[in-house]
Amino acid sequence: MDQRTNDSTGPGVASITAARPRPLASLAIAAIVAMGSVGCVKQMILDGQIEATRKAATAVDAFSDYEAASSVAYSGLGQFEGMHYLAPENQDALHMLAQSWSSVAFAFIEDQMEEAEDVGGSSSPLYLYQQARARAAYDRAIHYGLELLEARHAGFKTARRNDDTMKAWLASFGKDDAPALFWTGYAWMAKTNVAQDEPAVVSDLFIGVALVERSVALDGGYLYASGHTALAAYHARSPLAELEDGKKEFELAISLTGGKALLTKVQYAARYHCLKGDRASYVRVLQEVLDAGDVLPEQRLTNTIAKRRAKRYLGDARMKRTCGF
C-alpha cells in the first residue's frame, strides 16, 4: 500500500520529519494508517471469499436436476459479476466469469437454441433470439478470459495478428495457465460455431484453436480431456475438414476418460459419424450415452446434459435435417 506524503497537503504534514509531531498530528497520522489497514483487511476478506466461492462452485457439477442447475448457474453469474466489480483484478473472479459464461451458453442457451430450431427452423425469431444470446455470452466469456490471460502474460493484441505470433505469445504460458487458456479458447471456438455465417468471426477462429491447442499441450487431461474434445469437434467441423484428425482426437478423449465423460461421445456422433454418413455408428454411440448409468458422479450434470442432447439428436427430424439420414 502506498503511504507516501502528498506535497499538496500543506506545511503541517511536510514538517513532520523536521520537528516532533504534535499530539493532534500524531492522531491524524494514526487514523490515516488505520484506514489504510482496514482497506487491506477488507480486500483480503473479499479475495478469500472469492477463492472459497470458486472452490465451492464445483458442487453444482454433481447435480442431476437440469432445471435446478440452470437456476444456480445464472445466479452464479450475478454473484461473480458483483465480485469482479468489487475486486476487478482478482484472477479467481475472472476465471469463474470466463468459465461460467461459457458453460451457461453451452449448457442452457444453446439448448434453447436447438429446441427453437426443432420447432421453427434456423430462421425463426425464437432461434435467432437464442442465437444472439449465445453469441453475447461467449463474447463476455472471451472478454474476461483475455483479461485474465493478459494479467498473466501481456501481449495478446500483437499476438493475434497470425498463427505464428499467437504461438510465440502462447509459449510463455505454463501448466497452471491451462484452465484459463481452455475456457478462453473454447468460448472463441463456440462463438464461431454459433456465428459461422459471419466471415469476420470465422476468420479469427485460429485464435481460439491456438489457445485450446496450447492448453492441451500443457495439460491434456484438464476437465476430463475437454480440450481434446473441443479440438476433435474443430477438425470435424465440415466434410472438407480434417475428419480423420477429428476421429483420433475423439478416440483419445474417450480413452483418457474411460468413456465416462459422455459429452465427448455425443460430439463424436454429432460431428464425425454424422458427417461421414454413418447412421449405424451415429445411433449406436448416442444410444450408449442414453443407456449409461451414473458413471461419473463428479460430473453428473455434464452427463445429464449429454443425455439430454443425445435424446434430441436421435429424433428423426433432426437426424434428417443435420445428417441426411
Q: Which residues of 12-26 are buried (b: 16+ CB within 10 A; e: fewer)?
A: ebeeeeeeeeeeeee
In 121-258, alpha helices (H): 125-152, 156-159, 163-170, 178-194, 199-202, 205-218, 222-235, 243-257
- Separation of alpha carbons 279 and 276, rounded Å: 9
Q: Report helix, strand or coil for 174.
A: coil
Q: Which residues have CB under 8 Å from 248's CB, separation 6+?
A: 232
**Amino acid 36: pLDDT:** 53
At residue 34, what is the residue type? A
**Amino acid 14: pLDDT:** 38
pLDDT in tens, 173-209: 999 999 999 999 999 999 999 999 999 999 999 999 9
Cα-based distances in Å from 182 to 47, 106, 177, 307: 23, 14, 9, 24
Question: Higher pLDDT residue, 28 or 135?
Answer: 135
SS (H, E, C) 195-230: CCCCHHHHCCHHHHHHHHHHHHHHCCCHHHHHHHHH
pLDDT at residue 25 greater than cutoff 70: no
pLDDT in tens, 224-277: 999 999 999 999 999 999 999 999 999 999 999 999 999 999 999 999 999 999
- The superfamily in CATH containing domain 67-323 is TRAP transporter T-component (1.25.40.920)
**Amino acid 17: pLDDT:** 41
- Separation of alpha carbons 184 and 152, rounded Å: 14
Among 48, 84, 77, smallest CA distance to 60 is for 77
For helices 163-170 and 205-218, what crossing angle results, to 10°? 30
CB atoms within 10 A of CB 176: 10
Cell numbers for 57, please give them.
462452485
Which pLDDT band holds residue 57 (cuts at 50, 70, 90)?
confident
Which pLDDT band holds residue 127 (cuts at 50, 70, 90)?
very high
**Amino acid 45: pLDDT:** 84
pLDDT in tens, 70-114: 999 999 999 999 999 999 999 999 999 999 999 999 999 999 999
Torsion angle of the four alpha carbons 285, 214, 166, 107, in this order, in degrees rounded to the nearest 10: 40
pLDDT at residue 39 greater than cutoff 60: yes
Torsion angle of the four alpha carbons 270, 272, 277, 282, in this order, in degrees rounded to the nearest 10: -50
| Site of grid cell 480440450 | 227
**φ and ψ of 64, to 5 deg:** -115, -10
**Amino acid 67: pLDDT:** 97
pLDDT in tens, 146-176: 999 999 999 999 999 999 999 999 999 999 9
